[in-house]
Structure 1
Amino acid sequence: MAPIFWFRRDLRYFANDALIEAIENGAKEALFFVCQKQWQAHNTAAIQIDLLKRRVAWLGQALHGYGINLNIIEVADFSDIPQALKRFCEQHNSQRVYANREYEINECQRDKQCIAAGIELTLFDGDLVAPPHSVTTKSGDMFKVFTPFKKAWLKKFEQTYFFIPSWPLEMVNKNGSWQVPDCLQGDGSSQKWPIDDEAIKTIANHFIENKCSDYQSVRDIPSVKGTSGLSPYLALGMVSVKQLLAQLQVFYPDILQTPTKPEFCWVNELIWREFYRHLIIAFPDLCKHNNFNEKYNAVQWRHDNTQFLAWCEGKTGYPIVDAAMRQLIQTGWMHNRLRMIVASFLTKHLLIDWRLGEEYFMQHLIDGDFASNNGGWQWAASTGCDAQPYFRIFNPITQSEKFDPQGDFIRKYVPELGDVPAKYIHFPHDYLVTKQNTQYAQPLVDHKAARVRALEAFKV
């Protein structure tokens, strides 16, 4: 009986060990579940769903060429999957299903229910370089600080040279096409992001060859395209971290032994991604949106829907915050430095619960990823693991002056400030009064007063 392969957020056939193992054991059938209701429950952004559907459609066509049939099954949510999967296995005279493990609590429960239904589920850790519980303290516990986790992670892999296993199949269907089902028709919102392997490989190689050495110096400047642009592809598993490390080692073979190199700064971000995944595995209550650091349960968050909506719409009166939020609304993506600034503003300046910001990000980000999003928001709110101290409160004006000194990024997304000179653009209100310009929003809070209020709130 040949096994079946189940695609999840691992939408690649190249560099997918679980899929290759299934094929080598005779798999000819693969499947993907469209779970619209579940995606809504998880606040998955419409732009990410569109990207996912486009990629699944592309994947179905690509696999068809190699004689693998990708079956698309519509279900409402995860609770429907065990029986739907069992029926599919019976129809294809199979009991074994190969898949890559997902670590969030709902996904783990879904897999347990599939096993309870009698499905022989073989799971791989294709989303991680370091498998769960393989990077721990001497006592076997999960690290609660990033730096020692990183050191242990590097020690484990410093002599590893990653490679991409060869694809085991030859092209068999050069003619004909795979029929795209109606449920994979999206809204077209992600069209600016290519979904074919050749384009994604080009993006990765261009960054590694031409930009990685400058990443450390320009990654915080939002007006410069200094980041990799790979986060949406990592979020949906179109590429894997192992695959990227293998490409990186082609140009920098000793990169894992030399963390002082500027190129290592990007590796550091990939290790942060691993850290946040290991956290939700070790502390599954994080998936319930609980504070990692329970002492901050005593913080009294403000419930101000008017100010929250102003933050969402980019109308806070702080130009760098507003430009960042409008970038998110318009493009479905936000520069990482700006994610920290706007998260700090919501949780410290407005003293609004980080969970509302976490949810809003997931509802709009094309690269929405629960572990990283939750980790980032709890870091900014000082409630998380190895988070910034509660008394570290970003000043949005000085952040703007430092990372967008001429206001180029601000003017792109806040056009009503297009004529404001660089000298005034970071907090333009006095200047706008002299010009009788009332188009731009008044500041929701005074920075100094908001800072004092946040310090008092967090001192509990």
Structure 2
Amino acid sequence: MSREQQSHNSLMWFRQDLRLQDNQALVAACEHAQQLSQRGGEQASGKVRALFFATPKQWQQHDVAPIQIDFIERQLNVIAHELAELGIPFDVIHVADFDEVPALLAQYLDYWQIEQVFASSEPEFNERQRDRKVLASGIKLKLFSQHCYLAPLSVRNLAGDMYKVFTPFAKKWRDIAKQTPVRTVAKPLAVAKPLPLPSAIELRYQKRCSDDWLVGEAAAHKQLRQFARSKVNDYQAVRDFPAIDGTSQISAYLAIGILSPAQCLQALLGYYPDALVDDDSPGRCWLNELIWREFYRHLLIAFPSLSKGANFNRLADHVAWRNDPQEFQAWCEGRTGYPLVDAAMRQLNQTGWMHNRLRMVTASFLTKHLLVDWRWGERYFKQNLIDGDLAANNGGWQWSAGTGCDAQPYFRVFNPISQCEKFDPTGEFIRKYLPELDGVDLKLIHKLKIPFQAQLFGCVSYFSPIVEHKFARSRAIAQLAVMKRGATTSQATVSNSSQRVQQTNTVNAEADLDKEIFG
């Protein structure tokens, strides 16, 4: 990094917002530099730099998937070229973890004589702690809340608390959202002459090829537009069928910020302007999926213990999980003997992505049929998903296990056999990922009669069911009944009460912090 004659007075710190369009922090950095130039005359510098911190030790601690790191690396190279066209140099600094960021950032700012840092806020606990340390060091850090459409802690009940049930949260969210038109900001104009093409960026971390997913904002917006135009109308009817290409396929773009929530909402309302106000709008079903994403992110900030693996329902602390390592490994590898579960896990292992219905089926199977702690499954998903997102992953797993906020009841156990019959009725998805069953009659697949019949068809490599469904269901209900309110010890009730007080205090503290950061 050679020093230039002119200093760069603004810094754009990229994080989970790897885009140039609808990036309020980037626009603010460019406007700040322009204001400095106007204030200081022709001799003023008023330049902009951009920065990304690569934190391999932190990624490992956070179980970031190698396929997601590869996806990030490819997108960083895209925006490096786009920033060069705007005259903005882009640096990637490798540090071990977040603890090293404040000191390195201070050195960087001093070297380039940078006055102000602009960035997007992040909902995760460690990321917020990092920002606290940066602010405490005296660095001028201006954060913009862009990871949600409505800022965290802005959607509250009449008592001023965070909602703990999705339906009233969604209603309040829609009531707020419909008050003003959706606005996005354009990509900033060039701030200087174009720079030479930058060198290739390489993140020093284990990576897995993500080439099946196109990078770049153009590709992401094309996918979003095609979905909004052609698939939203049928989304509610087909979204649960994994053999049908009926979902948006934009989760990976949202996870690292190639797309913003505002852009998604804007695209939806462009075709279905009634989605916010009409319960019967064809766009309402997908809108609710966007709101679920917001719900889990708001929860992550209101209840920071969720980032640390805590059960939302503290009564779940008393569950005696079986945690059989061999059964867990069989689940990971798609060897449970339940075709839909196994096909889903192999989809994850082969592609780095899994259909949403199947995420629920596999999570329910692990936590209720096998009684494996949901945190084991949450971690495995995070280690393998290209769209890994702590809030959504944690929320989904706790929902399935019955331990979460507005979760599926502990006594509701997905039947993997009927789920298979209902959502893969032709066996197309199963046969795609379980080729050993390609010659087996569909009825035998659905009825789990494969091991005996398979020999007749020359298919001898599939597995007997790891556990019988009725037995597993009864066992799960008995074991998980400790989560039934009023059926546990007084100690659990006291713990739950204390947690509620702690969470209320946390909400207030986080609100004060956000007021300090966002002004």
Q: Superposed, which structure 2 residues align to 1:271-350 within 5 Å? A: 271-350=291-370
Contact 1:54 1:184 in 2 (8 A): no
Of 273-282 and 423-432, the range deviating more from structure 2: 423-432
Indicate yes or no: 2:13 matched with 1:6. Answer: yes
The equivalent of 2:267 in structure 1 is 247
Distance in 2, matches of 1:303 and 1:247, equals 44
Letter of the 2:31 partner, please give it.
E
User: In structure 1, what residue type is equivalent to 2:467?
Assistant: V
CA contact (8 A) 2:22 2:263 kept: yes
1:444 aligns with 2:466: yes
Matched, 1:51 2:71: yes
Which residue in 1 is equivalent to 2:387?
Answer: 367
Cα distance per residue 1:293-321 (max 9 Å; x no partner): 01111110002100000000000000000
Instruction: Check conservation: 1:9, 1:237, Cα contact below 8 A.
Output: yes
Which amino acid is 2:165 matched to?
A: V
Aligned to 2:454: 432
User: In the TM superposition, what is the alpha-carbon distance from 1:188 to its structure 2 partner?
Assistant: 5.7
Superposed structure 1 runs of 4+ greater than 4 Å apart: 171-175, 184-188, 433-436
Rg larger for: 2
Q: Following superposition of structure 1 onto structure 2, how do residues 10-49 of structure 1 map, counting pairs within 5 Å?
A: 10-26=17-33, 28-49=48-69
Amino acid at match of 1:12: R
* Structure 1 residue 438 displacement after superposition: 2.6
What does 1:34-433 correspond to in 2, within 5 Å? 34-170=54-190, 176-183=196-203, 187=207, 189-426=209-446, 427-429=448-450, 430-432=452-454
Structure 2 distance, partners of 1:171, 1:286, is: 41
CA contact (8 A) 2:235 2:285 kept: yes
Deviation of 1:187 after TM superposition, in Å, equals 4.3
Task: Find the aligned partners of 1:317 and 1:173 in 2 and give their Cα distance.
Answer: 61
CA contact (8 A) 2:87 2:195 kept: no
Rounded Cα–Cα distance in structure 2 between residues aligned with 1:392 and 1:316: 20
Secondary structure of 2:182 counterpart:
coil
- Contact kept, 8 Å, 2:15 with 2:120, in 1: the verdict is yes
Residue 508 of structure 2 corresponds to none
The Cα of 1:199 is off from its aligned counterpart by 1.4
Q: Report the alpha carbon displacement of residue 184 of structure 1 after superposing the two structures with TM.
A: 6.8
Task: Report if the CA contact (8 A) 2:272-2:282 is conserved.
Answer: no
Shift of 1:255: 2.0
Q: Distance in 2 between matches of 1:107 and 1:175?
A: 31
Alpha-carbon spacing, 1:329–1:81, altered in 2? closer, same or farther (3 Å): same
Contact 1:232/1:366 (CA < 8 Å) preserved in 2? yes
Which amino acid in the other structure matches residue 472 of structure 2? A
Please state how far the C-alpha of 1:418 moved relative to its aligned partner. 0.5
Residue 453 (1) aligns with residue 460 (2): no
Contact 1:57 1:184 in 2 (8 A): no
Identity between Structure 1 and Structure 2 (%): 50
Q: CA deviation at 1:441?
A: 1.1
SS of the aligned residue for 2:431 comes to: helix
Paired AA for residue 18 in structure 2 = L
Q: Deviations over 1:93-145 (max 9, x none)?
A: 12421110011111011111111222111111011111121100111100010
Cα displacement string for residues 140-173 of structure 1 (whole angstroms, at most 9, x for unaligned residues)? 1000100000000011012332132233314865
Q: 3-state DSSP class of the match of 1:311?
A: helix
State the alpha-carbon separation in 1 of the partners of residues 207 and 309 from structure 2: 30
For the 8 Å contact 1:53–1:186, the answer to whether it is kept is no
The C-alpha deviation readout for 1:267-286, integer Å capped at 9, x for no partner, is 10000000000101110000
In the TM superposition, residue 181 of structure 1 has moved relative to its aligned partner by 3.5
Q: 3-state DSSP class of the match of 1:30?
A: strand
- In the alignment, the residues of structure 1 paired with residue 266 and residue 364 of structure 2 have an alpha-carbon distance, to the nearest angstrom, of 35
**Partner AA of 2:462 in structure 1:** Y
In the aligned structure 2, how far is the partner of 1:266 from the partner of 1:449? 36
CA distance in 2, matches of 1:284, 1:181: 33
Structure 1 letter corresponding to 2:389: D
